Every structure is written in C-alpha cells, then in structure tokens.
Structure 1
Amino acid sequence: MMFAQPGILWALPAVAVPLIIHLLNRLRYRPVRWAATMFIAEASRSFPRRARWRHYLILAARMLAVLLLILAMSRPRAGGLASRFGASGPDAVILLLDRSPSMERLDAGMESTRRQRAMRAVSSAARALRGTRRFIVPDQAGRPVEFADISAFERSSFAAATDAGFNLPGMLRWALDAVSRERGENFEIWIASDFQTASWRPDSPDWTILAGRMAGMSGRVRVMIFDTGAEEAPNSSVRVLEAGRRRRFDGATEVSALLEIRAEPTGADYPMTMPVTATMGGVRLQTTFELAGAVSRHRWNLEAPDSAASGWIRVEIPPDGNARDNVSWGVWGPERAMRTLVAAEDRVFGRTVAKAAAPDESGRWAAEVRDPRNIGASDLSEVSLVVWQAGRPEAAVEAALESFVRQGGVLLGFPPSGADGEGPLGIRWKQEEECPASHPWTVPVWEENEGPLAKAESGRSLPVGRVLTRKRRAIAAAGSTGMRGDAWSVFAAFDDGQALLERRILGAGSVWACASLPVAGWSDLADGRVIVPMIQRLARGGSLRMSRHRMVECGTWKPEPGSPAPAARDSLEKNPDPVLHAGVYETGDATVAVVRPAAEDDPSAISAEEARSLLGDVPVRVARADSVLKADSSGTELWPMLVALALAAMVAESWLVNGSAGNRLK
C-alpha cells in the first residue's frame, strides 16, 4: 500500500482523542448516596454487563471513525508500485543521477526532459519502498551526501541540470567504495540515465572490474536502471571549436570562429539551412549556414568589434529539443608562436617532423631538432609540443616531461631504435615487424570528429586511408575508441586491428603514441597532407597551456591556487558554477570559456539489454520511466471506501448512543 499524502499519517495519535475525552468525562462525576436511588440500582443490576459493552462499542466506533478519516485523507492506494517493488526496501539507496546536457532532451510534446522524467520515476519508486532509511548521492568532490527522504533530494541542487559529462563507470566505482565502507547493510544502486554511449562508455575495461566487485559482495548490492526513453523532439547543436583574432590581407582585423553544427532535419532532407547568431562585444550578428549532412563544420569570419587583443564570443542556434546544446562560447587571446621541440635519434625523422611543424617562415610556427640526451627542463618552458623519438629518458628529464604534459603540453612519441621499446611517460612499443610481402598495412579506421586526424574545416577527410605502412612497432598499451581518463584511446587503427595512433590524457595535457615512422621504408606518413595537419594540430593544442585565455570542457577546469574566485561574464544560469555550468568566466587576468564536453553532442546510444549485460551476473532491473509512473498511478484508490466506512462507524455510534438513551427512558 502507498500513500499519496504520507505526511497526514502523523495525525494518527488523534485516534486516542475519544478515549481521552471519555476518561476525562468519568472524572467529572462523584458518587452521592441517596435513598431513592436504591430502586434504580436494584433495577440496573439485571443488565450491568450489557451496558458496559455498549459503552465500549460507542468508544470503539468513535475511535474507528477518526482512524478511517485520517487514513482517507492520506489517500492510500493498493497495488501499483507497492506490489511491484515489494513491501521491504534496502537499508539504503545510492542514487546516480545523470545530469549531463543530453539529459535535457525534451519529449515530443516539449513537456518534460529526460532528467525530469527520470526524477519523477525515481520519486515514485522511492515512495514505494519500506524500511529504506536513507538516499545517498555524491557531491562535486566525491563526498557522500545523505537524504532521509527523496523529496528533500528533489528540492536540492543535486537534482538540477548541469553542463558536465557523466562518467557512469567512475560513478559506479564510487558507489561500490561507499558500499564497502558500510558493514552489514543491503544497498540498491539506482542509475537514472539515458543510454548515451558517452556516459556509459561500454568499451571501458572498468566494467569487468565493477561486475566482479559486485558479484563478490554476497548479494548486498542490487542495481536498478531507469530507462528514460520516449518519443523526443528533434534536436540540433552548435559548438565553437576554436576562436581567434587575425588580420586580413586588407589590414582590417577580424574574429574567426570555427563552428561544428549537428542537425536533425524535421521532415526535410539535406541540404538544409541553419540560422546562427553570434554575440561579441555587446553586438549581435546573424548569418545562415547550409548544412550538407548531420555533422558539418563552418568557418565564420566576423568583423572585430574593438581593438582588444583578447575577448569572447557566444554562438547560438534557434530553440529546439534541447536548450542546453543550443549555445556555445569561445575565447581568444594574443597570438603566440607555437614551438615544437623534436627529440630524435633518427636525423631524417627529425628533419621531416620539423618541416611539418614549421612549414614556412611566418613566425607563427617554430621547430627545433635536439639530441634527446641534451634536453633539460628549461628547454620546455616555451614549447607547445614535444615529439620524442628515442628511448626512455633519464628520471629528471622524464619528470620534466610529465610536468610539461600535466600543465597542458602535448607529447607525441614515435618508435625508438632500442630493442626494449620503452619510451617516456609509460609508452611502450613491441618488437619491430614488417608487413607481409606485397601487402602493406592500410589505415581504414581513424577518428574524424576530433584529434589530429579530424576532418578539415571544409569537411573533407585527411587522406589517412591512403597511407601505406611497411614497418611498425605495435603500441603495447592497447586502448579502446572513445575512452577518456588514464586509459589509452585509439585514434587510428591498421586493417589488422593494431593501433597506429593512441592517446592518453595526463593532467591538463595529453600523451600520444604512434606505431610507425614518417620515413622511407616505414610508412607514407610523411605525406604533407597527413603529417602537417597532424603535427600542427597537436602543437596548437599544447600552446593553450601558455595562454591565459582558453576553452575547457565543463568539469575539468579549476582556477589556479591563489587566483581570485571566477566571476561569470556569460552563462545560461543565474548563479553559475564553473565546475558545473558552461559559460565565460574571468579570474584575475585569465578568461576561460567553459563548454559542454564534445562527447555530449554525439547522440549514439546503447540498448537497455547491452546496459544490463555490462554488469554480468549482478541482479539488474531495468524499469522504463513511463512504466514506473503509470504503475504509480495504476493502483486502486482506497479513500472512497475508507470515507464510507468512517460514515458507517459514525452511524453505528449514533445508533448505539440513541438506542441506549431510549432504553434508559423505557
């Protein structure tokens, strides 16, 4: 049984009011002996037991009427979720609520978002539990926050929308750590999320570890997944990939922004048009782009509103099925030369990479080839990219390289000549191997949406598929596409499945590993259409560490220690938090554009069955949010019956009272 108004049950002690009144009334009378009453007393001795029972029945009828009225006002319901979830709940529920931008997708009727549907389903399921004392959620720092009832959680900021991503394997790891700290209690982990691939990360090796941990908890943990699926409104998104100030050939200054637009045509085929609005320096500008496909990139050159060397821009598209991805921001600062340091054992390799890093003498790009044995920490202060083609460096040099990367620099490793194949910062290569006779390896698969091999601004793919490789050293740490964090991610793979290019995030920077060399006898990577954009894009990414003006993904940026608290210049929120909300923030002399994670724009998702299979043999229930809400309202309302019974009790009480009075008169 469930109660729509359970708070009214606090009035149940009022059932004792008739009994208290009865006892007080008895205290009002005192026995007085009077001779004439002897005849009445003699007559009443014939039915004392019957009168006593009549008084008991009157009292019981009054108390029953009060009880039934209180129960009726609490609106009990039989069946529904109460019978579906069982009468006894776990000791505690750990709630993992996905609050990422994808959860703000509206249904077809534009009435509720995925997050709102998930919260309603969670609330209905929570009210059906019995014996559950607390609901636990993580805060921003990973500390557990407890709520005694689900309504308190609904009113808290922990249920509000954010622009940060949702790492479900990481959240489950946190949940299991919380369970391990509690002894002797049973837990349910509730996952309220869409099945977006970016959130579930099905290729992560963490799933095997998580399933094993849960299986070893002796049945103390059960999992329930709330499926928020529904027919949804069409949605498009816009993202500022980069923004910068530059001087045109006629001497005028302009701001150039590279945009990525993803669109779902509403009944129309491509090409289609998309109106875009930009706000910069208080000035609003509009244009229209023609979209040739679901994902397209466009360069928008706008006249600079002032002569400032730094600034920010806000770009937005018309409202649609998700307001969270209709706006994006970009910032720019003074242009700096992007320097590449090439530490190479092979001189031909060094010259090839240096030429790709600085193909002209404009001063915007610079490259220097150095002996790996003669590199110190001071050599990295003004460097954007380090290309390392040598064995593992000495401890002091490796420590300097690690500090360089953690501060936002980029390191790209190529196979060394040493037999052990060990490189800097955990990179390892296997033994050298040559391709089968007359059958060079090709690269049929590579990441074209991000990274150094992404499509050009025109939308054309780099000719990576034409690169032939005759010799390679396979990368020992194999990753999986789309993974983030400390694991390796594959960005290009040979036709036999071995990785050509992998990446590992380290602090604010990244470490890359390549399996072949851009020299004759190894591969065709020296093709300028591949090696030049590859090297220059990595150098551009590493140059951000030296800029006070940068673009970062929401949830990854924290102000430097000792710097002033960030002040919001622009955001969708009234009181934005740079850890949780996208926008433009200033701290000291730094301007930062916090944007939603790029993976949030990818609509790809896994199925409910795939989600269930990730947890192996762990007991998992998948409940559709709409089914939970329907079950919550499908139970039988009992209050009409309780009101009728209360009226019957009052009628019985009246009959007993009037009947007793009539008998006394007789």
Structure 2
Amino acid sequence: MWGLPLALIPLVIHLLNRLRYRTVPWGAMGFLLHATRVSTSHARLRQFLILMFRILALLFLAAALARPLLGGMLGSLFGGPPARVIILLDRSGSMEAIDTATHRSARLRVLDQLSEAAMQIDAGAEIVLIDSATLMAQQIVDADMLKRIDKQTGQIIWPAVRRTDSAADITALLNACQAWMSRHPGRRTEIWIASDLQAVSWQPDSQAWANIAKGFEAFGDQVSVRILAANLPTKENLAIRLVNCERHQAGDEAELVLDLDIEATVESDIVVPLNVNIDGQSMQFDVHLETRSMRVRRRLPLRQMMTGGWGSVSLPDDSNRSDNICYFAFGRQRTLRTVVCAGTPAVGRLLHLAAAPLPAAREAALQLSPDTFAPVDLSDVALVIWQGSIAAEHQAKLQRYVDDGGTLLCFPGTDVSNTAILDFATWHDPEQSDVFEIDEWTRDRGVLADAATGVPLALAELDIIQRCRIAADATVLARFDDDQPFILEHRRGSGRIVVCTSLPHPDWSNLHYGAVLVPVVQRLLRVGGRRLDQIVYGECGRLLPVDSEPAWVPAQSGDAESPWQAGVFDSGRRRIVLNAAARESDLPRLSRDDLAPLFGGVDWRLFTETPDDVANRQGELWRACVVLVLLCLLAELVLTTPPATVGLET
C-alpha cells in the first residue's frame, strides 16, 4: 500500500492554489457582492465534492495496485498477498480419515484447498512446504505439485505430501518453521497450517507453546498464521494394534500367539471379522466386540519346519484405513539365554530362578558375579540382568550390547549411592518406609501390560519397604504414590534398558514371591530374543534407516512404499516391522477457544471446511477498486463541467 500517500496530492494542489490569490479591495465590485452571496454556499460544496472524488480515485487506484483479498487463506482486506507462504502439512495417520460426503481423506482435501489458494499468490512470491514427517523445508515451484496425480498408480507424485502412518508433533513443526525463517529473514510471511486439530498432535498443554509465541513475536508484524482445519465429522472407526507376538513350540508342533488390541470410537456390540495373512496364506476369524476397547489373544498353527516369516492382521475398511492393519514377524524356535550378574549372591539366585523357572531351562541362565563378567560372550544372549553398580570397564561392553538390540534389566545394590547406570541414570541413597505403595503403571502395553484375559499384574499387592531414588532420562512405566519411579525404561540404539528401583529381597520387598518378577523377566527375555532373530519392531516415524546400514527393502508383497508407512522391511540380515502410531486413533480435537492462547499476540485465523462459512470465501477486490476509480472520475467530470450557456435576446 505504498501508493496511499498519493491520495494527498489533490489536497496539496488545492491548498497551494489558495495561497496564489490575494484579496484586493475595489470599490466598483461592491455592487456584485450581494448578487454572488446567494451562490457561494453551492460553489463551496461543489469544490469540496470535486476534491473528495479526486482523493477517493487515487485511494482506490492504490488499493487496486495492492490487489486486496476478501476472506480466504490469503491476507486480509488491505493486506494483499504475502511475499512468502510457508505451508506446514500434518501428514499423520489421523489425516487419512475419510469424509463421508466426498469419500476423500482429510489430507487430500486440504491439499486441494492449499493448491487453489497457492495459485492466487503473485508469481514472484515464495512458497515453502514443511511436512510433519520429515520436518524438512522444500520449495514449491508450481502449486499443482500439491495434488498432481500419477495416472498409472493413482498416487500423488510428490513424495513430500503422500500419506504416512506416523504421528505428528505440531510444536516441532512450528519450531522447524521458525528455524527456517531465522535463516531466511526479511519478508512478509504467512504460515498456513493444514491439520485435523488432533489434540495429541497439538499438545496444547505443552510448555513449548510459550517459546513458540515468543519466537513469532520476534518477527514482529511480518508474520501471520492461517489454520486450515480438516475436521469434518467421520463415520465410526475401528483400530487394531499389535501388543505381542510369540512363537511357541511343543515337540514337532509350533504355533504363533498374537495379542491384539481392538478399539472403537464409540460403544459397540458388533462382530468384527479379522483377516490374518502369514507368508501369503490367509485365514479369517470373528471377534465379538462388546466394548470400546478389547484385547484378543489368538493362537495360529505354523507349518512344520517353518523357520521364520512375517504377516499381518487387518480389519475391514472403514473411515480410516491407516489404523486397520498391524504387522508382525517371527523367527525360528530357539533356547533363549540369560546372564545374571549380581553383586549380592542371595539376590542373584532369585533373579536366576525368575529367568529360568522351569528345571529344563536352568542351563540357559548363567549366574555370575561382576568380577567374572568380562570374558562372557553376549552375542547369543537375549537378556542381561545386572544387580548393583556397573564398573567403568563393563559399561562400554553393555552399551554395545544394548545398541545392538540387547535387553538389560538393572536392579540397585546396597552401596550404589551416586553411581551411574551407563550414561542415562544415576542411583541415589536408599530410603526406607513402612510401605511404598505403587499408584499407577502402564497396563495397555509393554512389560507391565495386562494379561490377554484382562487380568493385571499384581503390582498393587507388592509391599515395598526399601527403594533407591534415581535420576534418569527414561520413561516411567510404574510409579509410587509419591510420584517416585518404581520401574523405568530407556531406549538406546536398537535395544532397551529397564530399571527397577527395589530388590527381590525380604529386606527390600516381596518381589521375590514371583507374581510380578517372573512375568516381567520372561517378557523381557522374549523381547531380547528378537535380537537373535534380527527382528526389530518400531513405530512409523520413530524408527528410521541410517546411512551406515543396508537399505530398507519392502518385504515381498508388502504394502509399504517407505519407512513412513506401516509394513515389513528387510535390511541385510535384519527384518524391521513398522506399525502405525497408536496415538493417531485418539479422537479429541481442539476448538477455536483451545487455539486462542497458543499463538500469543500473533495475527492468526482459523478456517474450517464448513461450506457455508463466510470466513472461508475468498475473492480478489482489485476489479471492484478499478470500477470505483472510474466512478469517482466520472463524478469529478460531472462536477467540473460548466453548465450550458443560454443566449439573451437584445
């Protein structure tokens, strides 16, 4: 709107013209004063109108040159198109929800709208895309890139806007946007956020939003935010998730045991057909879903001499296909070895018994002291249990073991104050009480999950009278009623480290009774066994290939196109199983009131997909401004044209 000051030109000329004239008294003109006094008021009004229409003509001309927009994603009434647009695209699994009216996913719908809006931007404007999966900034040279389809495959050509089964973190997306803007400053920017406003993706209670608001304030009035919400209601949805996959062998007969969670968006009482595919062979069974959430255990026979394989379990198509399938893999039957290294011999014997509760498996568990640990070969060990402090000479060996996919279970010792657990945690002084009650634990997944029958582990019945405090960068799986951790998990490389802050010893707790200890140790033993079969489970978006390993190749007849999609991949000797992010099935969405405090003082607007929403309608006003310029000039012409002269007869 640099041309607005030009509207003052007629006023300046008018004032200068008034300064050119001086009043000169002349007696002969006195008789004319009375004759002109009547018409003076009309002349002044005409001159005022002429001046006003000239000023308005220049104002509307400047507005037409600025190409103002009314409504829609671009700008405000006189803001005009931005010099740069940054599109933040939510590519999470929840964006694959199908609209009942258009039968298109939320992702495809917003891509259509983004492409249409981007086409109205000036040719010299810069358009950048940052997606939630890669967080990488990419230039858009043609707005049609957002929705261009390959006619042969029916898929969008540009990989940066294709579907994923990963989760989204909108705060991370905005941080990536601000980092890119800091490296490329100096232009008026609009940020377009295309999302379904899923609460778990936006995390409105996160402390990161305060820093995001401050970051935008640092750019001043050069930044505005437009949110395109793809949140039309969808049909009822079912989701399936793999909890556990185990191979059992009894003589020459083998079976695969699958634990599955099935969740519905509403209360249901329906029969759900499940289709199981194992190495190309399909079978189907029905599940009676009586509640919104249900855990199912299914035993599937395996062919004799079958050394390993992979498969999937799928639901019928519904409003979101992204969460309708889960994948699994299994290896050959093998004896799983455990190494128990305990500084307290009595505790070591109890841990050895938990690792090998049956006499036939006792030889597969090795008990030793920390002094004799150095020469032990861990290449074929599924689980290492360590009690007490870890000496410096053993830490590097254990770190390599965990990085390679091994599982390490740690317990405190009686003298572990201020000693480190590898490089992620530190033990503090033990403390005693009449009883430390366990308040909550993760019951839906992991080593503390409920049994397939729905019966929880007996953590609530544990009597903990002594524990060690710990400072750790880890996920708490179980905690006491004073919010101190009881069991923690730390992921490292391809493996994991689980830490328990009490001991299976009568002076510490009743863990030695085995109701909790044995199931936890056996579950960790099976998890560690996947390392021996070179099977790695992960979540889409969290487990990604690295340059130092062989390329990930989709397994034969697999559906996955990239590691951002659920499926089974082969990488050298390893087999990687990726499943969709579980949290993408969560329904809660944010409202306008929820969004209001997130952006601080930044100019932001919310656009919904409601067809009759006036705020969503967009149009260019420059044509109307040109018409108004012509009307103002026409009015000025009428006012300045002198009236026709009527001749007088003599």
Q: How far 1:128 moved relative to its partner?
A: 6.3
Change in Cα spacing, 1:339 to 1:188, as seen in structure 2 (3 Å) is farther
Match of 1:135 in 2: 128
User: Alignment partner of 1:476: what SS?
Assistant: strand
Change in Cα spacing, 1:172 to 1:539, as seen in structure 2 (3 Å) is farther
In the alignment, structure 1 residue 513 sits paired with structure 2 residue 499: yes
User: Counterparts of 1:583-598 in structure 2 under 5 Å?
Assistant: 583-598=567-582
2: distance between equivalents of 1:611 and 1:383? 50
- Structure 1 segments unaligned to the other structure (5+ residues): 1-70, 478-486, 646-666
Match of 1:346 in 2: 344
Asked if the contact 1:85/1:128 (under 8 Å) is kept, the reply is no
Asked if the contact 1:434/1:470 (under 8 Å) is kept, the reply is yes
Deviations 1:272-304 (A, max 9, x none): 422111122433211112234322222222232
Match of 2:466 in 1: 471
Asked if the contact 1:277/1:284 (under 8 Å) is kept, the reply is yes
Change in Cα spacing, 1:462 to 1:421, as seen in structure 2 (3 Å) is same
Q: Select the residue among 232, 248, 251 that pairs with 1:246.
A: 248
Return 200-209 or 442-451, whichever deviates more: 200-209
Match of 1:497 in 2: 483
Match of 1:411 in 2: 408
Asked if the contact 1:278/1:284 (under 8 Å) is kept, the reply is yes
Q: How far 1:383 moved relative to its partner?
A: 2.2
Match of 1:454 in 2: 449
Match of 1:115 in 2: 107
Asked if the contact 1:343/1:370 (under 8 Å) is kept, the reply is yes
Q: How far 1:215 moved relative to its partner?
A: 5.1
Change in Cα spacing, 1:489 to 1:532, as seen in structure 2 (3 Å) is same
Change in Cα spacing, 1:94 to 1:362, as seen in structure 2 (3 Å) is farther
Match of 1:525 in 2: 511
Change in Cα spacing, 1:92 to 1:397, as seen in structure 2 (3 Å) is farther
Match of 2:436 in 1: 441
Asked if the contact 1:559/1:565 (under 8 Å) is kept, the reply is no
Q: How far 1:161 moved relative to its partner?
A: 0.8
2: distance between equivalents of 1:103 and 1:119? 11
Deviations 1:24-79 (A, max 9, x none): xxxxxxxxxxxxxxxxxxxxxxxxxxxxxxxxxxxxxxxxxxxxxxx9xxx99855
Return 407-416 or 318-327, whichever deviates more: 407-416
Deviations 1:573-617 (A, max 9, x none): 5xx12x12222333455443332233334445666655665x573
Match of 1:6 in 2: none
Asked if the contact 1:570/1:584 (under 8 Å) is kept, the reply is no
2: distance between equivalents of 1:608 and 1:536? 48
Q: How far 1:530 moved relative to its partner?
A: 1.1
Match of 1:336 in 2: 334
2: distance between equivalents of 1:141 and 1:105? 21
RMSD (Å) for aligned C-alpha atoms: 3.8
1: distance between equivalents of 2:397 and 2:172? 29
In the alignment, structure 1 residue 398 sits paired with structure 2 residue 395: yes
Q: How far 1:353 moved relative to its partner?
A: 2.0
Asked if the contact 1:262/1:295 (under 8 Å) is kept, the reply is yes
Change in Cα spacing, 1:85 to 1:412, as seen in structure 2 (3 Å) is farther
Change in Cα spacing, 1:263 to 1:332, as seen in structure 2 (3 Å) is same
Q: How far 1:443 moved relative to its partner?
A: 1.5
Taking only the aligned residue pairs, the percentage that are identical comes to: 29
Normalization by structure 1: what TM-score?
0.73
User: Counterparts of 1:29-44 in structure 2 under 5 Å?
Assistant: none
Match of 2:144 in 1: 151
- Structure 2 segments unaligned to the other structure (5+ residues): 1-63, 149-157, 629-650
Counterpart of 1:360, as a letter, is L
Moved over 6 A (4+): 636-642
User: Alignment partner of 1:179: what SS?
Assistant: helix
User: Counterparts of 1:303-314 in structure 2 under 5 Å?
Assistant: 303-305=301-303, 307-314=305-312
Return 508-517 or 168-177, whichever deviates more: 168-177
Deviations 1:51-109 (A, max 9, x none): xxxxxxxxxxxxxxxxxxxx9xxx99855555647634554333332212222122344
Match of 1:619 in 2: 602
User: Alignment partner of 2:365: what SS?
Assistant: strand
User: Alignment partner of 1:529: what SS?
Assistant: coil
Deviations 1:627-665 (A, max 9, x none): 5984476357989999x99xxxxxxxxxxxxxxxxxxxx
User: Counterparts of 1:580-659 in structure 2 under 5 Å?
Assistant: 580-603=564-587, 609-610=593-594, 613=597, 615=598, 617=600, 619=602, 621=604, 623-626=606-609, 630-631=613-614, 634-635=617-618
Normalization by structure 2: what TM-score?
0.74
2: distance between equivalents of 1:405 and 1:353? 20
1: distance between equivalents of 2:588 and 2:352? 39
Asked if the contact 2:135/2:173 (under 8 Å) is kept, the reply is no
In the alignment, structure 1 residue 548 sits paired with structure 2 residue 563: no
Change in Cα spacing, 1:513 to 1:619, as seen in structure 2 (3 Å) is farther
User: Alignment partner of 1:539: what SS?
Assistant: helix
Q: How far 1:333 moved relative to its partner?
A: 1.1
User: Alignment partner of 1:329: what SS?
Assistant: strand
User: Counterparts of 1:61-76 in structure 2 under 5 Å?
Assistant: none
